[in-house]
Structure 1
Amino acid sequence: MKVLFSAEVVKAGRKVEEGLLNGMLITFSDRAPEDYLDYVLVIKDIVYDAAPLQKTADYVLQINNQTWIITCWGEAAWQNLCELGHMTVVFDGAKKPLAYGSLHVNSHCPPSVNELIGPLKIMRKTNENSSY
């Protein structure tokens, strides 16, 4: 798989678990406004490929060695992630994005907060790796 975005999840805000109970997870860079920090996974050390995601390619989201297939994303999702470290992950497997900046994955069962500290990656599947 080719890594297109990587960062390190360094902290989970105290209200992240509430979002997970509703099937959503929000990230923001460590430069986020103080008011946001209770609600987000804080990420740092962001590295990304400047090319936008292609609608016809297959992508996966990996957080701390848990992997989900990305089913769709809003038009602003990639730009928001690259510029701000901001992403709203929705665990519903939708084929059409809920919002302009949302990214949907193929699970209806979000992870627990304690499983989310560590590396975060978005990768494109390649022909050599099609096991997901």
Structure 2
Amino acid sequence: MSDVIYQSNINQIGEFASEALADGMLILFKVGAPADLADYCFIHSHDVLKQDLQVGQVIHLGSHIYNITAVGDVANVNFQQLGHITIRFDGNSQAELPGTVHVKGEIPEKLFVGDEIKILNN
């Protein structure tokens, strides 16, 4: 059985967040993100990250499910403190940037306010 290590919901979608998503990036930030960043982010209610993000864990974004393939050096600290990570849908096995989490799977066409974000140990 999988353990849920993180759970929240999308509260707001920035004006340009869907464009970044179409380019293969989903930028998450907790409620209270700086205004200049919020336009590019999916803003979410922030929960406690019960365990560090790791390769092999599973992320649920609404009805979409992804396997984590790489975690950047500062992704865990950023996510714990700011609710901020960038998710790339390219399946890379090495993180391009320190705050990036790479996952394997199709880029979601659209996410909605109210969609759940859930991370599980597999």
- TM-score when scaled to structure 2? 0.90
Alignment-derived partner of residue 96 in structure 1 = 94
SS of the equivalent of 2:9 reads strand
Look up the equivalent residue of 2:87 and give its one-letter code.
Answer: V
Query: Which blocks of at least 5 consecutive residues in structure 2 are unaligned?
Result: none
Instruction: State the Cα RMSD in Å.
Output: 1.6
1:19 aligns with 2:16: no
Equivalences for residues 49-64 of structure 1 within 5 A = 49=50, 51-54=51-54, 58-64=56-62
Alignment-derived partner of residue 33 in structure 1 = 34
Deviation digits for residues 66-100 of structure 1 (CA, Å, limit 9, x no counterpart): 11011111011111111101010000000000100
* C-alpha distance in 1 between matches for 2:76 and 2:60: 15
What is the percent sequence identity of the aligned residues? 30
Alignment-derived partner of residue 110 in structure 1 = 107
Query: Which blocks of at least 5 consecutive residues in structure 1 are unaligned?
Result: 126-132
* C-alpha distance in 2 between matches for 1:3 and 1:13: 27
Is the CA contact 1:12–1:117 (under 8 Å) kept in the aligned structure 2? no
Is the CA contact 2:59–2:65 (under 8 Å) kept in the aligned structure 1? yes
Gap change, CA 1:48 and 1:113, over 3 Å in 2? same
- TM-score when scaled to structure 1? 0.84
Gap change, CA 1:116 and 1:90, over 3 Å in 2? farther
Alignment equivalent of 1:81, drawn from 79, 82, 98: 79
Look up the equivalent residue of 1:52 and give its one-letter code.
Answer: D
1:8, distance to aligned residue in structure 2 (A): 1.2
1:54, distance to aligned residue in structure 2 (A): 4.7
Is the CA contact 1:2–1:124 (under 8 Å) kept in the aligned structure 2? yes
Alignment-derived partner of residue 120 in structure 2 = 123
User: How many residues matched?
Assistant: 121
Gap change, CA 1:106 and 1:38, over 3 Å in 2? same
